[in-house]
Structures are given as structure tokens and as C-alpha cells.
Structure 1
Amino acid sequence: MLLKILILSIVLCLVFAEDYCTSHLFKTHSDLMQFTKEAPNLQYAISGKFKALHCCAFGYRSIEWLKDGVPHPWPGNLSTFIIYPNSANQTIYTHNVNGGDKGNYTCVLKNDTDIIIHPIQLEVFEPGFTPDDPKITYVSKDVTARIGNYVRLFCEAFVDKVNLPDAESQVVWLKNGSIPSGNNIRIDAVSRDNFTIGSYLIIDSINEEDFDTYTCRITTPGKVETIAVTISKYTPYYLNPNPVPLKNILLLTIIASLIILTFLILYKSFGLAARVYIKDHSILEDYVPYITDVLIVYSSDDDETFVFMLMNVLTTNFHYNCKMIKLPNYIENKCASIEEDITNSYAVITVLSPTTMQENWTAKSLYAALKNIEHLGRKHTCIVLKELPKCEMVKNSIGETLETLVNKMNVIQWRRRQEESKFWLNLRLKLPPIRRSYCNNPS
């Protein structure tokens, strides 16, 4: 009698092992190599009990099983699992699992072009082992679907076998605390190896109200485990053929405007000083041979107070080697008598004041005076001690005015009080870099 029961048990286990990869298969319309149902990566077994491992697939040419990197067949001390040939090598099993069967199994699917490698970790417990909590072997991930799509969720766990009439272990799917129902919904409970139970939630054609969060609840005596899975509605994303990122453009415009405004403020406050600093720290090849740094030319009719103050600042504060020349009526003579001094000087400064012009401070007379000293060229800077007249319009035969002539020449107006520092910066910008050797050894 016991023999008949044993034979019947073995037959039932083998039938179950053979049927596992033929039930609850994915709906697929592709001929590509793929799994035909969910493939758990973690499995559990009780020593002395029947156990089967599965690699349910389609479109393969061969299936190879390995344990800890060693291909099947295995010696008894490595694994007692054998291939069940009636399942097209998709299943390996053992009637009496033992501690040596524990390890990492690998299913390798191959066809002419592709390879799929599926690892399975098997844990084996001693006889009489009772798990403290349900051990989850597989739970579906969140799903995105369109209206009318086929959707299925699967949840599976290894649980303790209960031999009580009023208690049982189960896996159920819930929606808002209740079992989902509807003409398009079905729930299939499954069991394998007596200790591994699971449940399918299948929606044949999903409706708007089916998009929600579902909970897999695994219940054993005294223990409850829940896992949430969300089915969300697919929202198509349409590409704009002519996108105009107004927000980005506005943001970039504001940033660029702030950068430009900051630059202008900094330049207005420190730009002139920075240019002078750069110039003073530059090296000019044509600078060293000159005998005089700055030649100051003024009229004998001018008050020498400003000229001596200018000389003192340039020599004391800025360490320039300066020379002063006072000429009678130098404008009329076009500075012919100082050509040699001009040649030996890096820069020339002429001073124009109302006294120089015999109090004839008009656009016409200033234009004539500037034209007389224009020949001094790029080395020349003209300091005017009074604001230039703006009302009169004087043009020569080619349309040149006093304003255009002033812009073309280095003309600087003497400023006092608040704008005096700006005057000195403008003047130093026209003069040579400070002689470092002269500053260190002013002999």
C-alpha cells in the first residue's frame, strides 16, 4: 500500500513538473526566443521533499543547465537534480532534495543568433523548518498599459505548509482592500512543490477604472505580507515639430541681460583703472630708447601753476621722466623749434587754455590750434583747461569739424574735484608704462 502511495506521489509530481511550462503562458505573437512565463530568480525547498526548477521558454535551439558554473550532468555530491526530458529540457527535478543541492543554478537558452542566461538561487532548509515570514520569490513590477491591453500580474511566495483545518496559507490580489472583480478580470491561484504558492491577476481588456494600485497579500498563520503594484495609463508624448522653448529663451535672455548689465557696471566703475593697470604692466619694445618719457609743451602766455602741478604729479606720483618747454607763440610756429625734443620723447603733452588762445576760446580758433599741433601724431596728447565750445559749427573744405578733430586726436579736458581721478586715469592711458627700473632706482 505504501509503495502504491509512493508511486502515485512520484507520478503526480512528474505530471505537475511537465505541466508547469504549459500553463499560464504569456500572450505573444513573436517567434523570437523568449520566456513564456514569469521566471523567478530565487527558489526554496525542504530537504527530503520533491523540488523542480523551471526555465520555461520558446524559440530556443538548446537549453543548458549549470550548477555553480558546472554543466549538467552533475555528480551526486554536487546536485541530485536531473533533467525531465518530457519538458524539452525546460525542467530539472529531484525526488529527494538535500543540503548539497543548495547553490546557484543557471539556465542558458541558445538559438542561432541569441543567448539568454537566467540564474536561479536555490536555498534548502532542514526537515521540519518553519519560515518566520513568507519568503517572496516573485512579484510583478509596475505596469503601463493602454485602454484595451491585456495585463497580468503575478505574485508568488514560499510559505509554511499548514495542516490545520481552520487555517491556510494563501496569496490573493486586492484593489482598495477588496478582491478585484469584473467581466474582464480573473484571478488564478497556483501552487507548486506544496510549499510555493502564487496568484495571477489577469485583465483581458483593461478599462479606465482598472488603472489603479493593486496589493498582493500573502497570508500565513500569524503573518501577513503585502506588496503594492501599480497599473498606470500610458500617456503618449507627442514631439512638437517646431518647438519654441519660450521659458528657456526668456530665462537665457534674463541671464544674458544680467551678465551684460553687470559687465557694463563693472566696466564703468573699474574699466578705465583696469586698462591703465594692464598698460602699466605691459612691455613696449619701442619704449626704452627714448630719453624723455613725457615732454610738456605750453605757451609763455599761460599761467605756470597748472603746468608745474602736472609736472609734479607725473614725476612724483607716477615716476615719469618729464621735461617742460615753454615757447612763445608756439601754435603759430607749429612747434618747429622743438622737433628734436619731440623725437627724443615717448609722449608729448601740449596745454591749451584761454590764455593760450588770447582769450579767443571759440570753435574756430580751437580748430586752428589743434590743426597746427596735429602733426605731432600718435605720441601727442592735448590737455584743454576749459570746456570745449559746443554751439558753433566749423567745417573745413572736406567737412571736418572741431568735434571730429577732437575725437581723432588725444584731447583730454582738465577735471577737478570728483572727476579729477578720472582725468589722471585718462591721461596715464595715453602715456607710456611706468618705468619699473626708474621707480626702483630714480637716479
Structure 2
Amino acid sequence: MAFAKLSSVIVLYLFVVESASGLVVDYYCSTNTFGSNSSYLQFTKEVSSTEYAVVNRFKSLHCCAKGYRSIEWYKDSRAYPWAGGVSSFILYPEAANQTIYTQRAVATDSGNYTCILRNDTHVKVHTIMLIPIEKPPQTPRATFTPKDQRVELGQRVRLYCEAFVGRINLPDVRNDISWKRVYPDGTKPHNQHLQQEKITREDDQIIGAYFYINQVKSQDYGQYVCSVANADSVIQMQIGLHHQASESVRPDVSIPWKSLFMVTAGIVVLFIFIVLLYLRVGKKVRLNWMETFAKNPKNDNKVYDALILFTDSTESTTLDCFIPTLQNKYSYDCAKCRLSDEPNEWFDIASQLSKLSRSVVAVISPQEFNAMQLTIALAKLHMLSSNCSPVLVCVQELPKFQPMAKNDKGENLQILLKKTNVILFKDKDFWLKLRLSLPCFNNSIKNKLKTSESETADKTSVEFEEYARTVKRNSHDNKTDADMVV
């Protein structure tokens, strides 16, 4: 029975100790925080650089902050969690991982503890050196040393100092900490009113003091000293409060690299998508746009949309497939002319027809020509097409020709081919490429003009039949070896 009561007392004692320690851990980062309404990543209270732990006593380390997404703890570059031989400290989740603690510090806890805070754009790092000791020190040891400050007139000032003093178990002796103003002659007046707030933590082993000036006046600039005393000695930490000229508030110019990277990546992905979309449907969209907003073939003194030239080897393809598709499916009015063996004969006829046509298309088989013949044929083709670049439809692939000397106009085969819209008849998108190379018209309006144009075309056809017979007759009588045979 006595053993059961003793066990209950021990359990109750441990519960009270655990609860008290937990409260200290839980509320430390939520009190005495900096008065800032901003939400960017920042520490919310002073962070110590050195901490002391009495062996077998409770100890906690803090990294109080806000605006973070994650906190990581390291001991001597080893990430948390730590094995027992590395450190006995554990995270305190109720403090949002801002605190690590141990109920009983051990000698192996000695080392550098680093907290790394991150959000989407910023990182903050702070390191605390922990020194375990066997018993409280005779002389107070500073854990947070204040630094000189420069402030403007009218601003609020907050000074803080802190030291490890250990716990004194004597009824008539107490640890103490306080701020005082120091004058040039070294005096420390005790009657000056200073707004101070003293704090303790870890069972009164650590004491600290806040010193506030709500609105700084010119007479407030000077030296201040923080004095910390225990049963055996006193230490002092002195700082200067200096005047700073007012400056215009500078906006936060930090670059949000992560957001910038996401936006850039999004733009790149969008650009690639647009390029792929254009490669797939861009030509069709472009053709529809051109046909929708094209100029009407009115008052241009043209009868035909295209003059189609063909050779003996391409006659069947041209007359059975090429011209019927252009006329019946795509509503192009076509004139046709055979390329005979006599260049002057067909060129004279084609030149008259080209004056009544909006574009010129030649359907050839490259195997019928050598390099010189093709050069002369392309030169004549460009002479026929003054409105736009001529179109060369090849029923087979063009062979690779050797570079040639330029003619008197500074042209050779390679230059003429670059100036010509060359389309392979076997291409997958042949008709789409061809229509993009020919003048586009608004067919809904163009059809209204067909009646008057057809009358002109009939009259022109009769005149050209008679003209063609005359040209053939004259050409037969005046053959010359100087002409190019095509």
C-alpha cells in the first residue's frame, strides 16, 4: 500500500514537471515578439548565439520566426532526428517546430545547433552553440549580447540582454538584471525612469531584460548598460544608441526567384505549345484568314486566277487531276498552255495569257531538263510572272545541281530556285502549300463576278485560238538554232 502511494506521488511529480516545462517551451516563441505586421520571413524575437545547459537539467533551444514554410534543425551538420549518442534533443511540435528540448541534458549534447527557415523566396539560417556544464557558473554568462543601434527621432527602440546565471537556492540572495543610462562622466543615475521588462526561463536559470523607449528624443541618444548579477559576481554589457538621419522608406526589392522561374517556365511551355500548334494547323488557319480577308478580284483586268504550263510528260497529271481540282474543288479559273519544243512559240502565247492571269504555275518533271535548260526555263517563267513569284510544281524530286556561273542579270539556277515557290506534287500538304502560294480571294464575292468574267474569258479564248494559230505558223517559218529547246 505504501509503495502504491509512493508511485502515485512520483508519477504526479513527473507530470507537473513535464507540464511546467512544456508550458515554458510552448509560450516562449509567442511572447515578447517584435511589433511587426509584415508577413515576410523574419525572426520574431532575439535569438541567442550561445546557450548553457546544466547536466541532468531541462534545456530548450529556440528559433522563433514567422512567414516560413519549413524549419529544419541540424546538429554539427547532421539533420534531425538524432541518435542518442549524437543528441538527446527532440522537436516540440506544439511550438510549430521552432523549439527543440531535452528533459535531461547530457555531455554529448554539446555542439552547434542550426535552424534553417525557408519559404518560397527566402532562407534564414541561425546557429546556437550549446555548452553543457556540471553545475551553475559562479559568474553570469551572456547568452544574448546587445549591439549598438542607430534610430531616427520619434522611432521606438527595443533593447534586450540575457545571461545564464543558474538557480540560487539561498533565501536572501537573488539573481538580478537591469538596464541603466550611462553618462559621459561614468555616472549611472538610479532615479531615471526607464521602461523595462524582466523575463526568466528554464526554471529561472536564464534571465533577460527588455528596455523600451516609445519615442526617441534627442536627449535619449547615448550609452546604456545592462547589468547581470548572481550570488557571486556581476557582468555588464554596454551599447550605444545613436542618431540616424531619416531616409525615405525603400520598398523590398528582393527578387522572388522561384516565382520568376515559374513564370519563365510557363512562358517557355506556352511558346513551345504555340509553335507545335502552328506546325500542325497554322497553315490552315493562315489560309482561312487570307481567304476571309482577301481583296476581291475586281477591276484588275484579269480573267484567270492561274495560268497552268505543262509539258508532254506532265500533260496527263495536269489535265486529269491538277486543273480539275483547282477549278472544281477550290474555284480557281485556270488557263492552260503546253510547253512545246519551240520556246518562242509557247513563250509568246504564254506571255499573252499571263497578262490576263493573276499567277503562273508550271508543272514539270525535272528529269526532262538539264541544269542549263532548267535555268533558262525558270528565267522565262519569272518573265511571265510579274505580279507574284511563280510556282514550280515538280512531279519528282529536284536533283542536286552543281553551282553554275551567273548570267548577265546576275542570276544562276540556285538563285532562281530560291526566288521560285517550288512544291513537290507528292507532298502531304501539297494543295495547302499550293493555295498559299497562289493569290487568295474571297470566294463568296468572287463568284458574283464569274458571270461577267466568263463572257470576257469566252471572247478572249476565241481571240487566242486565232492568235495561237498565227504564232505557230510564223514560228514554223522562222525557226532559228539560237532558240532554247524546252
Using structure 2 for the length normalisation, give the TM-score: 0.46
- 1:192 is displaced (CA, Å) by 1.2
Aligned to 2:63: 55
Q: 1:18 to 1:237 in 2, by over 3 A?
A: closer
Aligned to 1:212: 222
Tell me how large the CA RMSD over aligned residues is.
Answer: 1.8
Q: C-alpha offsets along residues 86-133 of structure 1, whole Å, 9 cap, x if unaligned?
A: 11110011111111111111100011111111111100112xx23132
2:201 to 192, 196, 216: 192
> C-alpha separation between the residues in 1 aligned to 2:223 and 2:20?
37
Aligned to 1:135: 141
Residue pairs, 1:113-124, within 5 angstroms = 113-124=121-132
- 1:77 is displaced (CA, Å) by 1.2
- 1:166 is displaced (CA, Å) by 1.4
> C-alpha separation between the residues in 2 aligned to 1:112 and 1:179?
49
> C-alpha separation between the residues in 2 aligned to 1:24 and 1:180?
26
Q: 1:237 to 1:70 in 2, by over 3 A?
A: closer
Q: 1:62 to 1:175 in 2, by over 3 A?
A: same
Matched, 1:3 2:11: yes
Amino acid at match of 1:88: A
| Percent identity between the two aligned chains | 36
Native 8 Å contact 2:158 2:212 kept in 1: yes
Runs of 4+ aligned residues of structure 1 deviating over 6 Å after TM superposition are: none
Q: C-alpha offsets along residues 346-405 of structure 1, whole Å, 9 cap, x if unaligned?
A: xxxxxxxxxxxxxxxxxxxxxxxxxxxxxxxxxxxxxxxxxxxxxxxxxxxxxxxxxxxx
- 1:237 is displaced (CA, Å) by 8.8
Residue pairs, 1:71-90, within 5 angstroms = 71-90=79-98
> C-alpha separation between the residues in 2 aligned to 1:144 and 1:78?
42
Matched, 1:12 2:20: yes
- 1:29 is displaced (CA, Å) by 3.2
Aligned to 1:163: 169
Aligned to 1:245: none
Native 8 Å contact 1:173 1:180 kept in 2: no
Q: 3-state SS of the aligned residue for 1:132?
A: coil
Amino acid at match of 1:187: Q
Aligned length: 234
Residue pairs, 1:302-317, within 5 angstroms = none
- 1:60 is displaced (CA, Å) by 0.5
- 1:2 is displaced (CA, Å) by 3.3
> C-alpha separation between the residues in 1 aligned to 2:163 and 2:30?
20
Q: 3-state SS of the aligned residue for 2:131?
A: strand
- 1:179 is displaced (CA, Å) by 5.1
1:66 to 74, 81, 88: 74
> C-alpha separation between the residues in 2 aligned to 1:160 and 1:72?
28
> C-alpha separation between the residues in 2 aligned to 1:130 and 1:27?
34
> C-alpha separation between the residues in 2 aligned to 1:229 and 1:153?
9
1:106 to 111, 114, 118: 114
1:45 to 53, 64, 80: 53
Aligned to 2:29: 21
> C-alpha separation between the residues in 1 aligned to 2:212 and 2:237?
17
> C-alpha separation between the residues in 1 aligned to 2:51 and 2:86?
17
Matched, 1:153 2:159: yes
Q: Which runs of 5+ in 2 are unaligned?
A: 1-8, 183-187, 249-486
> C-alpha separation between the residues in 1 aligned to 2:47 and 2:58?
19
- 1:34 is displaced (CA, Å) by 0.7
- 1:209 is displaced (CA, Å) by 2.5
1:144 to 143, 147, 150: 150
Q: 1:113 to 1:148 in 2, by over 3 A?
A: same
2:181 to 150, 175, 182: 175
Q: Which runs of 5+ in 1 are unaligned?
A: 239-443
- 1:236 is displaced (CA, Å) by 5.1
The structure that is strand-richer by fraction is 1
Amino acid at match of 1:216: C
Which piece of structure 1 moves more, 12-21 or 156-165? 156-165
Amino acid at match of 2:196: I
> C-alpha separation between the residues in 1 aligned to 2:181 and 2:126?
32
Q: 3-state SS of the aligned residue for 2:38?
A: coil
1:222 to 232, 238, 256: 232
Q: 1:17 to 1:146 in 2, by over 3 A?
A: same
Q: 3-state SS of the aligned residue for 2:215?
A: coil
- 1:178 is displaced (CA, Å) by 3.7
Q: 3-state SS of the aligned residue for 1:13?
A: helix
Q: C-alpha offsets along residues 22-59 of structure 1, whole Å, 9 cap, x if unaligned?
A: 01111223221010000111110001111110000010
> C-alpha separation between the residues in 1 aligned to 2:141 and 2:52?
8
- 1:235 is displaced (CA, Å) by 3.3
Native 8 Å contact 2:54 2:136 kept in 1: no
Native 8 Å contact 2:138 2:232 kept in 1: no
Native 8 Å contact 1:174 1:180 kept in 2: no
Native 8 Å contact 1:51 1:93 kept in 2: yes
Using structure 1 for the length normalisation, give the TM-score: 0.51
